[in-house]
Amino acid sequence: MSSRVFKVWRGDKSGGRFVDYQVQAEEGMVVLDAIHQIQRTQAPDLACRWNCKAAKCGSCGAEVNGKPRLMCKTRLDALPPGDVVSVSPMRSFPLIRDLVTDVSWNFQVNQKIPPFTPRPDATWIMQQEDVDRVQEFRKCIECFLCQNVCHVLREHDLKQHFFGPRFFVRIASLQMHPMDGLDRMALLKDQAGLGLCNVTKCCTEVCPEEIHITDNAIIPMKERVVDRYYDPLAWLWRKIRHAP
């Protein structure tokens, strides 16, 4: 058993610092195990949000060595050996204490998205190939690491104008649902701020569920917005098709 130094961010809204802890590293240990060991042996009040410890609930997002990760899925032996390990809270959300941030903004955004609304003629007969795309999006465990890493939120702090990758995935899952009858294109273009995304793909890079956020959700939504608002031929085609 070897000992490793962890630099863990301790503090609250008024400020804070990295505090060093010695952790006894066991075989197969993940960062969350180390945090629990610190709680048990050195800092019983170290605040950390977690639930399932199996990468299924998405509660324990933090920044390990500066990279947004699920702590329960980050093994110590996958980090540079011998080096100190830094653990800090997700940076794009207001800090509550230590490693815990206030992610309630995300829940507010979700409320602005009109929910699944079946078409009046919905038959509920759907083939697997019709739901494959939607099922990929519904794998999302709402860890909000994509929201945290997205520079529109992280660097430019445009929470008032931008829903973030998580909710583009959510809207895509509704728009592509074969039985959904609502149109959310205006919402996407204006309120959700899809145009603020510059497809730099950090959301896809950090997604622990390996959802192709950019290629399968955001870009297809951008293309649908183009269909509706920016493509004169598509506009003409709609006019002709719906002409009396």
Counting residues that bind another protein (by CB under 8 A) gives 117
Q: How far is the CB of 26 from another protein (least distance, A)?
A: 6
Rule CB under 8 A: is residue 25 a binding residue for another protein? no
Contact positions with another protein (CB under 8 A) in 39-58: 39-40, 42-58
Q: Binding to another protein (CB under 8 A): which residues in 220-239? A: 220, 222-227, 230-231
Q: What is the DSSP string of the chain?
A: -EEEEEEEEEEETTEEEEEEEEEEEPTT-BHHHHHHHHHHHT-TT-----S-SSSSS---EEEETTEEEEGGG-BGGGSPTTS-EEEE--SSS-EEETTEE--HHHHHHHHTS----B-TT------HHHHHHHHHHTT-----HHHHH-HHHHTS--TTT---HHHHHHHHHHHT-TTB----HHHHHTTS-GGG-----HHHHH-TT---IIIIIIHHHHHHHIIIII-HHHHHHHHHHT--
Q: Which residues 93-112 are close enough to bind another protein by CB under 8 A?
A: 95-98, 100, 102-104, 107, 110-111
191 lies in the site for another protein, by CB under 8 A: no
Least separation, in Å, of the C-beta of 205 and another protein? 6
**7 lies in the site for another protein, by CB under 8 A:** yes
185 binding another protein? (CB under 8 A): no
Between 61 and 90, how does the x/- string for binding to another protein read (CB under 8 A)?
Answer: --x-xxxx----x-x----x--x--x-xx-
Q: Is 147 in the site for another protein (CB under 8 A)?
A: no
The correct pick among 61, 164, 165, 193 for binding another protein (CB under 8 A) is 193
